[in-house]
Amino acid sequence: MKILSDYSLDELQVELADFPKFRAKQIFDAIIQSKDYSDIALPKDMINKLKENYILKPIEIYKTLVGKDGTKKYLLKLYDENLIECVFLHQSYGNTICMSTQVGCRMGCKFCASTLNGLIRNLTAGEMLSTIALVNADNGKSNTRNFTNIVLMGSGEPFDNYANVVKWLDLITDKNGFNVSERNISISTCGLVDKIYEFSKLNYNITLCVSLHATTDEIRRTIMPIANRYTINEIVEALKQYVKENSRRVVFEYCLIKDVNDREEDIINLKKITAHLLCHVNVICLNPNGGSLKATTRKEAIDFVNRLNKNGISATLRRSQGEDIAGACGMLRAKSLKQKS
Ligand code: SAH
């Protein structure tokens, strides 16, 4: 079966060439509004033909949790029964959707719940577009855009699903569809250096974020297996290239873990790492997932960020949203998988 949301409007017109041209636009609008066959006015025989080969709505809401702060966490079910997560955050500067790029993840970061059962499969570009459409429709009218920003910070490693993520970028920024500004999209990677170089050349105006989480390769290797493949130096060089090609500030994500990366020497190291790079450090407190890693307290985190700032490093502490509803990456899905087994 093919997924209709994998196609751009132009591609749909070619794919559905057996039908009158305006039908492609009708299908495309249905995708954006998260409609299924039963919700649109199409001739019965056309629907029957389409249903034989194509899935119109590959994703549905399985469970919704609403946090005290209004953060909505979704467990979504794909057409093949796989579950993914998505979060809708209400923010003063516009609502943000945080979404997944893979079912599971194979990067193996020690603190992250998404990777606990490994990678099941990649999401297609259309499944990612349909995720946005579904969550958009659940947060207002389906024919308006009810969000401003999208961050690829859910489950999965976006650059491990590179081709689909790039295709999705074209779909989500398409003027015929959601028309999201590239500037309002952030992609977070654990640091797949070869893909950072490849992506730099495409000149998208998105914000590129790299999960750093340690200031020496030695420590990084103990919490992020990808550090065995690429050094921090190699990441910084690749990011310099990204900044050069795109004139965009890059972001380091830095999740504070007690006695692992919150030491005085980490501040000195961070100063060196960020010294010649147009960048910002986004500090987060670890959301413990039951492993041996402990969180730095919020008070210590505030102090850590203050010390970074005193050292001339652009850094902020990210407000933690949705903590009461298993807010961090993959936690809700992991919980649900556990209950099933
Ligand atoms: N694979 C991508 C996107 C993943 S999630 C990446 O590694 O960047 C987005 C961010 O949440 C990453 O910085 C990730 O390291 C972080 N994260 C994952 N689990 C977390 C946890 N338990 N507490 C705090 N941050 C976490």
Domain boundaries, the chain: 1-55, 58-340
Q: Up-side HSE of residue 126: CA atoms within 13 Å toward CB?
A: 22
Taking domain 58-340, whether its CATH number is 3.90.550.10 is answered by no
Residue 322's pLDDT is what? 63
100 Cβ below 6 A of ligand 1: no
CA 329 to ligand 1 centroid distance, Å: 6
Say if residue 321's pLDDT is above 90: no
Q: Are 313 and 278 in contact (CB under 8 A)?
A: no
Give pLDDT tens digits for 166-211: 999 999 999 999 999 999 999 999 999 999 999 999 999 999 999 9
- Model confidence pLDDT, tens digit, residues 61-103: 999 999 888 899 999 999 999 999 999 999 888 999 999 999 9
DSSP H helices, the chain, are 9-15, 21-32, 44-53, 125-137, 162-172, 193-200, 217-223, 232-246, 264-274, 298-310, 331-340
Q: What's the confidence (pLDDT) of residue 92? A: 82
- Confidence check: pLDDT of 332 > 80: no
Q: Which pTM was predicted?
A: 0.95
Cβ of 190 less than 6 Å from ligand 1: yes
One-letter identity of residue 150? I
Summary mean pLDDT of the chain: 94
- Cα of 237 vs centre of ligand 1, distance in Å, is 22
252 lines ligand 1 (CB under 6 A): no
- Residue 49's Cβ-side half-sphere holds a number of Cα atoms within 13 Å equal to 10
Question: Mean pLDDT, to the nearest integer, of 149-170?
Answer: 97
Establish whether residue 328 lines the binding site of ligand 1, counting it when its CB lies within 6 angstroms of any ligand atom: yes
Does the structure show a pLDDT above 70 at 250? yes
CA distance 44 to 54: 15
Nearest CA to ligand 1 atom 7: 190
Concerning whether 285 is annotated as a catalytic residue, the answer is no
What are 273-297's pLDDT values in tens digits? 999 999 999 999 999 887 889 999 9
